[in-house]
Amino acid sequence: MSERTTLPYGSWPSPVTAQLIASSSIRLSSVATDGADIYWVEGRPTEGGRMVIVRLRGTDGTMADVTPAPLSARTRANEYGGGAYCVRNGVVYCNNDADGRVYALSEGAAPRPLTPEGAFHHADFDVDERHSRLICIREDRSASAANPLNAIVAVPLDGSMDTRVLVSGADFYSNPRVSADGASMCWLSWEQPDMPWDASTLSVAPLDLKGMPDAFHVLAGGPGVSVFQPQWGPDNTLFFVDDHTGWWNLQAAAGTNVRAITALAAEVGLAQWNFGMTVYDVHPNGSIVYAVCERGAWSLVHIRQDGSVHPLQMPFTDFGASLRFSGDEVVATMASPTTPMSVIAIDLADASHRMLRQAADIPLGDEWFSPPEPIEFPTDGDLTAHAFYHPPRNPACTAPAGDRPPLIIHSHGGPTSAASAGLGLGDQYWTSRGFGVVDVNYGGSTGFGRVYRERLNGQWGIVDVQDCINAAQFLVRRGDVDAERLAIAGGSAGGFTTLAALTFHDDLDAGVSSFGVADLAALAEDTHKFEARYLDRLVAPWPSGRAVYEARSPINHAEQLSCPVLLLQGLEDRIVPPAQAERMLAAMRERGIPCAYVPFAGEQHGWRRAETIQRALEAELSFYAQVFGFVPAGVAEPVEIENLGALRR
């Protein structure tokens, strides 16, 4: 290896450029199988974020797009969408983003609409062959965009567009599924203020001769129990996941007799932010494969026909919430510390795998990638919290002797979500330039059981902030990072954690909030239906707890800020509207706090367009360079920081 160039941390040139990430990265999700064919969805930044269904033929291995442009297989149901398509007997059924209509896609034919025009969004499809119809969730915004009506509906396959409501009355529904014999239907439901990971119920009903559910009964769930992914087996056994033990585990029901398939102090389940998430599948022969998360890292387990349990020994540590059998293989979305999220096919005989599609094709060796080190660190209340630490890594560069790298603390969104143990090119963008990155699974994160998840109840903006700061202090004590160059960054709920950490504490030196929450009260009053009561549990009941909301909102205490802040915001965001960032910016300007603001026209909650992804990364790098005093490599357009001279070191 050639001699390394000595350069300050942060200024290392890297081939992991923002342009490369934006142009070569896609979002992979939603695996489906139909006979020998395999399908998945690709979110393509270079096509403006269009969601494209791709088919891999099992007969000849050819790969082709199923959804013709401009069709985009995306749904806005619950705003976060997911579950936008299903496939049966070679026909794909999907919701189109632009008009919210369901289309049937047959090879060689134009897309055929199955639902009428209107203010609808559809998701979570299942095919009811017995009654020649689709069963799905419909979100009806015709009366109120802010408070839409959710229902389970039947969509005829004959094109008559005579959509029929099957189940209604609850605040939310998901996972309507018809049994193998077509005689019964199940579904999940939940009511505000609960989120689906707080409490939900699994209902089952026989279908009458007209296909209407008759005299349903609740099989599982209820107060303090979350149910996830009900699925009928080939013999009409109903499988599902619930967390009545404090951990999400797989169950099976024959009639009303329920037995545990797994009994683990680990998670066979996820927070249901999206429709269509799957963590297990049942083979026609009765064998099962499931994904399990232990201490933040995912793996797969095979339960054979004889009931024996066989963990699959593979290098993958992150799971993309999608898993399906395809013959004797399992197809799943997974990532490893050196492989980005990918669609892989796994041979259950020997756990070998073949790569079907990678989220990014980066022509670099593993020496460029900084694998995650799982760390546990002490935090407030004599408790322990979790994180993944990525040290700086660049085979062509080193830092001057005695230097310590700046640290970026990543506070994940949700907040009921988790940091990834797989390869994220966003993390490598920073580590290959000489930053340390710590992805914090603060109290409230998933993957560590219900007790850990509920640490955040009533404590959002406190527990998450303390855990992020304590993660940084742990790395400072170990000597990994520079105590004088600690930054925090996050999006959405992670943006709130970022702003709260900078406003109410003086341990950190800079922060970047992407579409982050600045005003909790405004969020409670102005957000969409799915999260309208989310904060009742995380903060306090609304509106009786208004004083707590105001006390904990960074927007009301901007005078306590004393370090630079960068705000990035999509201008079409309905989840955290642009007014939040704009009011925070005005408050910082009024007080002379160093600040910068980059708005993105056409973007919603998260970045989908290639040009946005590139600009956001380069703006953040430019921001850190100006604050921490180094010359960045590969920034086409520096960001302008107002008032920087007032607090320059």
The secondary structure of residue 66, as a DSSP letter, is S
Q: Alpha-carbon distance 259 to 276, whole Å? A: 24
Query: Is 527 a residue whose pLDDT tops 90?
Result: no
Could you identify the residue written with the tokens 């504490």? 505
Tokens of residue 117, six digits: 């025009």
Query: Is 2 a residue whose pLDDT tops 70?
Result: no
Average pLDDT, whole number, for the chain?
95
540-592 per-position pLDDT tens digit: 999 999 999 999 999 999 889 989 999 999 998 888 889 999 999 999 999 99
Tokens of residue 30, six digits: 């939603």
Query: Is 28 a residue whose pLDDT tops 90?
Result: yes
Mention every residue, 6+ apart, whose C-beta is less than 8 A from residue 314.
299, 300, 334, 346, 351, 353
- For the chain, domain boundaries: 5-13+364-647, 278-359
Q: Alpha-carbon distance 380 to 281, whole Å? A: 40
Report the pLDDT value the prediction gives residue 545, as an integer from 0 to 100.
97
Cα angle value 269/244/221 (rounded, 5°): 85
Q: Which of 1-5, 190-194, 312-316, 595-599 has the lowest mean pLDDT?
A: 1-5
93-136 per-position pLDDT tens digit: 999 999 999 999 999 999 999 999 999 999 999 999 999 999 99
Rounded average pLDDT over 10-24: 91
Query: Is 8 a residue whose pLDDT tops 70?
Result: yes
Q: Alpha-carbon distance 348 to 328, whole Å? A: 7
Report the pLDDT value the prediction gives residue 646, as an integer from 0 to 100.
62
Report the pLDDT value the prediction gives residue 20, as an integer from 0 to 100.
87
Report the pLDDT value the prediction gives residue 363, as an integer from 0 to 100.
81
Q: Alpha-carbon distance 517 to 573, whole Å? A: 12
Could you identify the residue written with the tokens 């683990």? 264
Task: List the end-to-end C-alpha distance of the chain, in Å, as a whole number.
Answer: 38
- 5-13+364-647 in CATH: which number? 3.40.50.1820
Q: Alpha-carbon distance 435 to 438, whole Å? A: 10
Tokens of residue 625, six digits: 């360079």
Report the pLDDT value the prediction gives residue 351, as an integer from 0 to 100.
94
Report the pLDDT value the prediction gives residue 1, as an integer from 0 to 100.
47
310-337 per-position pLDDT tens digit: 999 999 999 999 999 999 999 999 999 9
Tell me the pairing of strands 149-156 and 164-168.
antiparallel
Higher pLDDT, 34 or 608: 34
Q: Alpha-carbon distance 510 to 564, whole Å? A: 5
Whether residue 31 contacts residue 332, with contact meaning beta carbons closer than 8 Å, is answered with yes
Handedness of CA 464, 465, 468, 471 (dihedral sign): negative
Give the other-Cβ count within 10 Å of 6's Cβ: 11
Tell me the pairing of strands 133-140 and 149-156.
antiparallel
Tokens of residue 267, six digits: 């998670």
Whether residue 568 contacts residue 511, with contact meaning beta carbons closer than 8 Å, is answered with no
Q: Which of 5-14, 219-228, 353-362, 440-449 has the lowest mean pLDDT?
A: 353-362
Of the pLDDT bands very low, low, confident and very high (cuts 50, 70, 90), residue 475 is very high
264-282 per-position pLDDT tens digit: 999 999 999 999 999 999 9
Tokens of residue 410, six digits: 């990543």
Query: Is 44 a residue whose pLDDT tops 50?
Result: yes
Q: Alpha-carbon distance 489 to 550, whole Å? A: 22
Q: Look up the pTM and report it.
A: 0.94
Whether residue 481 contacts residue 404, with contact meaning beta carbons closer than 8 Å, is answered with yes
Query: Is 649 a residue whose pLDDT tops 60?
Result: no
Give the other-Cβ count within 10 Å of 50's Cβ: 19
Report the pLDDT value the prediction gives residue 360, as an integer from 0 to 100.
84
Query: Is 32 a residue whose pLDDT tops 50?
Result: yes
Rounded average pLDDT over 49-57: 97
Mention every residue, 6+ apart, whose C-beta is less than 8 A from residue 255.
none
Per the rule left: phi > 0, alpha: psi between -120 and 50, beta: everything else, 277 is: beta
Q: Is 560 exposed, middle or buried (0-12, 13-18, 19+ CB in 10 A)?
A: middle
Tokens of residue 50, six digits: 């269009």
The secondary structure of residue 89, as a DSSP letter, is T
Report the pLDDT value the prediction gives residue 608, as an integer from 0 to 100.
86
Report the pLDDT value the prediction gives residue 575, as an integer from 0 to 100.
83
Cα angle value 373/377/383 (rounded, 5°): 140
